[in-house]
Amino acid sequence: MTHAFFKALLFLGAGSVIHAMDGQQDSRYMGGLKKFMPITHITFLLACLAIAGVPPFSGFFSKDEILAAAYASSPVLYYFGVLGALFTAFYMFRIYAMTFLGKFRGTQEQEHHLHESPKAMTIPLSILAVLAVVAGFIGIPALFAPNAHLLEQFLAPVFSDLPAHSEHLSHGTEWMLMGVTTVLVILSIIWAWKKFSNYELDATEEKGIGKVLASKWYVDEIYDAVIAKPLLKFSGFLKNIVDKKLIDGIVNGTGRFVQYSSRQIRLVQSGQVGGYILMMVLSLVVLFVAFWNQAYILKFIHWIFK
């Protein structure tokens, strides 16, 4: 749940930068924004640290808890988790470094346009940044301060009947895991920092795996193809076909069917007395027949209405 804080923070930070860049979204054309937008810079940095899971930011504890839990259930899951964490740390800092460090690579015009975002953006940014930093502490695991799981205490009336965590790793293992991930994360951060802080626009393209890793285009494309597009398509399908045509169609169709049958049944009322009397006599016959066969009819009706 701490995730929500820094995710929101990142989104807003990115929005703030794009705003400043007058709609430019490509971080290759940014750089050096540190001096133009200090607040955005700091908050963005905090968010990156948090999401990368650097202690003591909020992401650290939650990530650590998740990884510990994963380790408890299966080491394979844990390794994937660590790998994911490393990737996250790497690409976050790549973005950070490209955007805020180094020299400005945009056009002259954009450089003039650069400015700190209005308060509407910076205030929520700051609030979220504070939350992103401290939110971790309320979830500090028992490892650091026994019985200090503030969140649990704080929600004590709610969780009073919660069973204790079923699987607890020994503290030693937890320390070990924590240390390994932290070191790896920090290493990957440093790598990214070094690599991209002085990024130049015409720098030679990376080769091989570096190219894939470094190029956010691939990530975006994969993300686009695997998640975003199908998701959008699927929800579009639900919205336009299932909801509008199928469900609403049935609902409105019922109404239309009633109107249609109204138009048809109305025709029985022809205004001809002879016709009416014929109908009456026929119905009389039907009543007679129905009366002497009512047992079957009732059985049929009860079969319909279960």
Partner 1 sequence: MNAIILSAIFGIVMMLSSAFVKNTKAYKSIALVGLIIILLANICETYSHSWLNIPTYDMLAFDRFGLYFNTLAIACTILFSAFSQREIERVGRYVGEYFALIFFVLCGIFILSAFNNLLMLFIGIEIMSIPLYILTGARKENLKSNEASLKYFLMGSFSTGILLMGIALVYGGTGDFALTHHVEQINTSIAGAVNQRMSFLDVAGMILILTGMCFKVSAAPFHFWAPDIYDGSPSVFSSFMATIVKAGAFIAFIRLFALRENETTILQNALIGVDWKMLFSIIIVATLLFGNITAIFQQSVKRMLAYSSIAQAGFMLFALLSLNDTAKEGLLLYVVAYSVATIGLFGILAKMKDYTLAGYNGMAKSHPTLAFANAIFLLSLSGIPLSIGFFAKYYMLMAVIQTGGYMWVAIVGIIFAVISVFYYFRVIWSMYFKEGTVELKYPATKGFKILAVILALIIILLGTFPQIILNFLYF
Partner 2 sequence: MIVLLILIPVVAGIISFFVKSGKAARTLALGASLLTFLAALVLVITAKGTVTLDKEWLPQIGSNFSLSMDGMAKMLCLLNAVALPLILSSTIRERYSNKGNFFGLLLLTQAGMMGVFLAADVLLFYFFWELALIPIYFLCSQYGGEKKIQAIFKFFIYTFLGSLFLLIGIIYLYLKTPDQSFALSSFYHLHLTATEQNIGFWLFFLAFAIKMPVFPLHTWQPDAYEQAPSAGTMILSAVMVKMGIYATIRYVLPIFPEAVHTFNHIIIIFAVVGLLYASLIAIRQDDLKRLIAYSSIAHIGLMCAAVFSLQEIGLEGVMIQMFNHGINVLGLWIVASAIEQQTGTRKLSEMGGLATKAPVLAILFMIMTLANVSLPLTNSFIGEFLMFNGLFRYNIWAGAFACVSIILVAIYSLWAMQKMFYGEVSEFTKNAVEAPKNTQYALVVITIVIIVLGVYPAPLLDLTKDTVQAVMHLK
Take residue 266 and report the two structure tokens written for it: 């109305």
- Span near partner 1 by CB under 8 A; candidates 37-45, 88-96, 139-147, 264-272: 264-272
- Residue that the structure tokens 């209405």 belong to: 305
d(CA 228, CA 113): 32
Question: Cβ of residue 271: shortest distance to partner 1, in angstroms?
Answer: 6
Q: Which of residues 274-293 bind partner 1 (CB under 8 A)?
A: 275-277, 279-280, 283-284, 286-288, 290-291
Question: Cβ of residue 102: shortest distance to partner 2, in angstroms?
Answer: 24
Question: Cβ of residue 243: shortest distance to partner 2, in angstroms?
Answer: 6
Q: Which of residues 193-252 bind partner 2 (CB under 8 A)?
A: 231-232, 234-236, 238-239, 242-243, 247-248, 251-252
Q: Is 86 left (phi over 0), alpha (psi -120 to 50) or beta?
A: alpha
Question: Cβ of residue 208: shortest distance to partner 2, in angstroms?
Answer: 33
Question: Cβ of residue 282: shortest distance to partner 1, in angstroms?
Answer: 8
- Cβ proximity to partner 2: between 11 and 288 the closer is 11
Binding mask 200-239 for partner 1 (x = CB under 8 A): ----------------------------------------
- Span near partner 2 by CB under 8 A; candidates 5-13, 80-88, 104-112, 289-297: 5-13
Partner whose footprint covers residue 164, from partner 2, partner 1, none (CB < 5 to 8 Å by kind): none
Question: Cβ of residue 291: shortest distance to partner 2, in angstroms?
Answer: 27
When asked if residue 150 is in the footprint of partner 2 (CB under 8 A), the reply is no
Give Cβ neighbours of residue 60 (< 8 Å, ≥ 6 apart).
50, 53, 54, 136, 182
d(CA 98, CA 197): 6
Using CB under 8 A as the binding criterion, the count of chain residues that bind partner 1 stands at 31
